[in-house]
Structures are given as structure tokens and as C-alpha cells.
């Protein structure tokens, strides 16, 4: 038997978004200048390294088993290395990317390689995956992966590894970067302090995947990790938790202890941070430059229709102002097309962005993710636009594809009003002025805004192409920007 056994963990790029601005419906649409511009921009995006490393694969590659050597192949940057011998290939599968993952798995198995599939899609839909893999890992994998590696060594791999409970994150499991090619990324300093979410937003799969109770890592372990990571990469830190202020006492202690390390960091939070004065001050002092907040909707009817209840609309604007006044830039994510939205919603979103001076607005279309409550409801109401049995058709895009019919707005009017909204929000003038006015991380805010100006123009074109170019933009917004 050959030792060490070589294991390769594979990460697949998404079809669009920060992995590269790409038309889904017509990459070569006869306009060669536009196609050339798109492909040039894709390589610029990669070179400016918006990409961050796949944390789930970093966590798995950090698990040490004697006689096993693990590597990561990030297919955003490289082709699959067929020229080397692999004893096991692990692929992380997202539902929106499942077709690509299955195609690759099938190819690898035809070439004689042993394939293990894991990730969110395998956790929620294992039945769909079995025919493309030798081994499935179902659920959060860190406790299962060690067993997979031990069994690989002894030649006793099983077809399914499954755990009935979530891993205990308070157990110390130091994350290592040794399997990464550090220079490819915007930063390699990616940290997760916990998982799970106590809320129930029906379009979100975080609570479906990771459970309703917050499981946190030991604060000392996280601080040690930040200090260790900082020694070999002085770039920005990303805290990838869905809500870094979900447990305010934990967050206050963590960032108090991180402050002396002198890092700069981005993260994701809820807008309630704007009412948590002490915590906000601690965040600012500890080097927080920018946060992503999920505003989702400013329509009370939409918020209750989709169970987004954890913060009140009346408090949103004040909270955003407080956070920005503390020197922290905000990426505010909206969803247009929720069940309480009407053709008046785009004007309300536009006003809200102007009033609060959000630094990067993200204007998304509702994406029904298979496995969420909203997917099941839209399917039962006959509002999905693709076959609900073929869940791999529900791919991830950046506002480039309609997957469902909005409740109160006819499809043609929805697409023209969405297009008009993104055109206004991301005019080059608005993008530039938001970048210049950002209270923190100015360069990143400016780059994101300019990148989005392009990405939303792709979105408008693709939405037209999806329906054969039949929709004209009829104004539902006031003419002044």
C-alpha cells in the first residue's frame, strides 16, 4: 500500500458574482466588444483578488491524520490536476452548483478516482448525490472527516458518513492555511466564531443547515487563531459568521481581546448593532472597517410574510446612521420581489438608500433555495419557473435569472422595475459618490460599487435574454437620481 495517501479537496467556482462577472444566457452574444470586456473584467476581478479561500475546505485540510497528505484545488484559479495520483477527491457541493459538481465527479470516477461528496447539497439532498460518488459525507463534516481519513488509510471506506448531531464547536480545532496558495486571495485571514441562527427567515438555509441554536467556539481559540494568522498575513480579516453580533456578550469579549492585535476586519452583522452602543464602540476600536447587513426588506408586509422579524423597520435607518457614524461602512443587502412588495417598493428602496447613505447596496431578487420553506411554498403555489423536481436548475446567479413569479407584480413589470432600480442605484455617478463618501474601507467600497455597476448591467441583459428580450423598461421611479 502506498503512503502517504494523497487527498485533494476541490472547490468549484459559482457561475457569476465575485467569482467572475459572466453572462449566463449569452456569453458570446454577437457583441464581441462586450464579450471581450466581460472576459477581461473576469480576469481583473481574479487578479484584484476579491476571492477569499473556501473556509470549509481549510477546516477539513487542517485535520491531521498520520499517513495522509491533504491539498486544496480551488477551481476558480486552476484546472483539476489530473497529472498527479490522488487516493481520494472530496468535492464540496452547493445546490446552485450541483450540476457542475456531479459532472466533475462523474469524470473523475470514469478516470478511476475515488470521489467523496459533501457540503450543503449532500446534507439536504443525499439521495440525489449517491449515484455520483463513492462516499457521501452528510452534515457538518469536521468530526466525520477524521473517520473518513482513518478509513481511507485502512482501506475500509464506507458509502455514507453521517452524524445525528451538530459538532461541538467549543472543542479546540486549530485551522491551518498550509493547503492554500496564499497569493491568490484577497486575504487568507478567514475566521468563523460560530454557527447556527435562532431566527427563521423563510428564504434562508442557514438555520436549516446549521440549526437554530448558536454554537460558539472558545474565545481563547479564536483570539489565538487571529494572532497566528496575522503573523504570516497582515491583510484584512474576514469574520464569516452570518451574524457576528448575534451573541453580544460573546462578541464584546472577543473583540475586546482582539483589539491589541491591531487588525482591520470585515464581517456580517444585524443592524441591531446600531442600538448596541458599547458593542459598536468595541467593534470600531478593534479595527472593524465594514459590515454586511441583511436589510432584506423595508416593507413590513414582506418582512412578516417571510418571517424576517428580528429587527424593526422603524429602527433600521437610525441604526445604519449610528454604525456609519462609528466609521464603519455598510453593505446593505435587499431583496426585491418578496410577497408584500408592490411596484411602489423600488421607489421606497431608492429613497432608503439615499436617506441612509448605505455605502454598497446589494439589490437581489428572491432566490428560492431548495430545502427552504419559501421554496416549498412557491412550489405548492405553482409559482416556480423551473421544474421543482430538478432542484439543480435553481442555480446561484447575481440577479440574472428569475426563478419564480412574484406574488403581487406581473413578471414583465417586475423585471422592468427591477432593471430600472438597479440602473438608478448603480449609475456610475452614484457608485463613485458612494465610494468617496464611505466612512471606512473606501477603496473596497469604491471597487465594489464600480464592479456592481457592471454586474447589474449584466443582470439586466440576462433577464431580458431569459425571456427573449420582450420586456421594455417602463418607469416606476422618479426621474431625479
Binders of ligand SF4 among residues 429 to 468 (CB under 6 A) are none
| Interaction of residue 206 with ligand SF4, rule CB under 6 A | yes
- Using the rule CB under 6 A, which residue among 42, 99, 173, 199 binds ligand SF4? 199
From the list 80-88, 107-115, 194-202, 316-324, the region that binds ligand SF4 by CB under 6 A is 194-202
| Interaction of residue 294 with ligand SF4, rule CB under 6 A | yes
Q: How far is CA 380 from CA 357, 369, 371, 373, 383, in A?
A: 39, 14, 13, 11, 8
| Interaction of residue 197 with ligand SF4, rule CB under 6 A | yes
Judge contact between 51 and 72, C-beta under 8 A. no
Q: How far is CA 122 from CA 115, 329, 396, in A?
A: 13, 36, 16
From the list 74-82, 198-206, 283-291, 396-404, the region that binds ligand SF4 by CB under 6 A is 198-206
> Smallest distance from the beta carbon of 244 to ligand SF4, in angstroms?
11
The rounded distance, in Å, linking the Cα atoms of 455 and 472 is 19
Query: For 130-250, where are the E strands, in sequence order?
Result: 135-138, 160-162, 189-191, 194-195, 215-216, 237-239
57's grid cell: 475546505
Question: Which CB, 261 or 292, lies closer to ligand SF4?
Answer: 292
Strand-strand pairing, 135-138 and 88-92: unpaired
Query: For 82-157, where are the E strands, in sequence order?
Result: 88-92, 115-118, 135-138
> Site for ligand SF4 (CB under 6 A): how many residues?
9
From the list 172-180, 204-212, 446-454, 468-476, the region that binds ligand SF4 by CB under 6 A is 204-212
| Interaction of residue 421 with ligand SF4, rule CB under 6 A | no
Question: Which among 356, 363, 347, 364 is positioned nearest to 434, based on CA atoms?
Answer: 356
Judge contact between 297 and 333, C-beta under 8 A. no
| Interaction of residue 202 with ligand SF4, rule CB under 6 A | no
Let me know how long the chain is.
481
- Using the rule CB under 6 A, which residue among 10, 115, 204, 463 binds ligand SF4? 204
Question: Which CB, 75 or 206, lies closer to ligand SF4?
Answer: 206
> Smallest distance from the beta carbon of 267 to ligand SF4, in angstroms?
13
> Smallest distance from the beta carbon of 365 to ligand SF4, in angstroms?
16
> Smallest distance from the beta carbon of 174 to ligand SF4, in angstroms?
26
The rounded distance, in Å, linking the Cα atoms of 142 and 121 is 16
- Using the rule CB under 6 A, which residue among 19, 74, 140, 242 binds ligand SF4? 242
Residues that bind ligand SF4 (CB under 6 A): 197, 199, 201, 204, 206-207, 242, 294, 310
Amino acid at each position: 500500500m502506498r503512503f502517504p495517501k494523497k487527498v485533494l479537496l476541490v472547490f468549484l467556482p459559482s457561475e457569476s458574482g465575485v467569482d467572475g462577472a459572466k453572462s449566463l444566457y449569452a456569453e458570446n452574444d454577437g457583441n464581441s466588444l462586450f464579450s471581450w470586456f466581460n472576459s477581461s473584467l473576469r480576469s481583473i476581478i481574479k487578479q484584484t483578488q476579491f476571492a477569499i479561500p473556501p473556509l470549509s475546505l481549510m477546516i477539513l485540510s487542517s485535520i491531521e491524520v498520520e499517513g495522509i497528505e491533504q491539498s486544496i484545488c480551488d477551481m476558480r484559479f486552476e484546472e483539476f490536476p489530473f497529472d498527479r495520483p490522488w487516493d481520494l477527491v472530496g468535492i464540496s457541493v452547493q445546490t446552485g452548483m450541483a450540476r457542475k459538481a456531479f459532472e466533475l465527479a462523474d469524470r473523475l470516477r470514469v478516470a478511476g478516482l475515488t470521489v467523496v461528496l459533501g457540503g450543503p447539497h449532500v446534507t439536504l439532498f443525499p439521495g440525489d448525490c449517491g449515484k455520483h460518488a463513492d462516499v457521501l459525507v452528510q452534515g457538518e463534516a469536521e468530526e466525520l472527516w477524521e473517520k473518513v481519513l482513518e478509513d481511507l488509510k485502512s482501506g475500509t471506506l464506507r458509502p455514507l458518513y453521517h452524524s445525528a448531531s451538530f459538532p461541538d464547536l467549543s472543542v479546540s480545532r486549530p485551522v491551518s492555511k498550509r493547503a492554500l496558495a496564499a497569493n491568490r486571495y484577497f486575504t487568507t485571514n478567514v475566521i468563523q466564531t460560530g454557527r447556527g441562527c435562532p431566527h427563521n427567515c423563510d428564504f434562508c438555509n442557514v438555520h436549516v443547515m446549521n440549526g437554530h441554536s448558536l454554537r460558539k467556539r472558545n474565545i481563547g481559540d479564536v483570539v489565538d487563531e487571529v494572532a497566528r494568522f496575522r503573523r504570516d498575513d497582515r491583510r484584512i480579516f474576514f469574520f464569516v459568521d452570518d451574524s457576528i453580533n448575534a451573541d453580544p456578550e460573546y462578541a464584546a469579549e472577543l473583540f475586546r481581546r482582539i483589539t491589541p492585535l491591531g487588525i482591520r476586519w470585515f464581517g456580517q452583522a444585524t443592524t441591531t448593532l446600531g442600538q448596541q452602543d458599547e458593542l459598536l464602540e468595541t467593534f470600531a476600536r478593534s479595527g472593524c472597517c465594514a459590515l454586511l447587513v441583511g436589510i432584506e426588506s423595508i416593507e413590513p408586509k414582506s418582512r412578516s410574510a417571510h418571517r424576517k422579524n428580528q429587527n424593526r423597520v422603524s429602527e433600521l435607518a437610525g441604526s445604519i446612521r449610528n454604525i456609519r457614524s462609528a466609521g464603519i461602512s455598510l453593505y446593505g443587502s435587499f431583496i426585491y420581489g418578496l410577497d408584500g412588495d408592490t411596484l411602489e417598493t423600488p421607489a421606497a428602496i431608492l429613497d432608503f438608500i439615499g436617506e441612509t447613505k448605505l455605502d454598497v447596496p446589494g439589490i437581489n431578487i428572491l432566490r428560492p433555495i431548495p430545502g427552504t420553506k419559501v421554496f416549498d411554498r412557491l412550489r405548492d403555489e405553482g409559482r416556480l419557473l423551473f421544474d421543482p423536481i430538478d432542484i439543480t436548475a435553481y442555480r446561484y446567479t447575481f440577479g440574472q435569472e428569475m426563478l419564480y413569479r412574484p406574488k403581487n407584480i406581473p413578471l414583465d413589470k417586475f423585471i422592468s422595475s427591477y432593471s430600472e432600480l438597479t440602473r438608478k442605484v448603480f449609475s456610475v455617478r452614484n457608485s463613485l459618490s458612494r465610494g468617496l463618501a464611505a466612512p471606512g474601507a473606501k477603496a473596497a467600497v469604491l471597487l465594489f460599487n464600480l464592479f456592481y455597476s457592471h454586474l447589474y448591467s449584466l443582470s439586466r441583459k440576462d433577464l431580458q435574454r431569459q425571456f427573449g428580450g420582450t420586456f421594455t423598461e417602463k418607469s416606476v421611479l422618479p426621474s431625479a437620481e
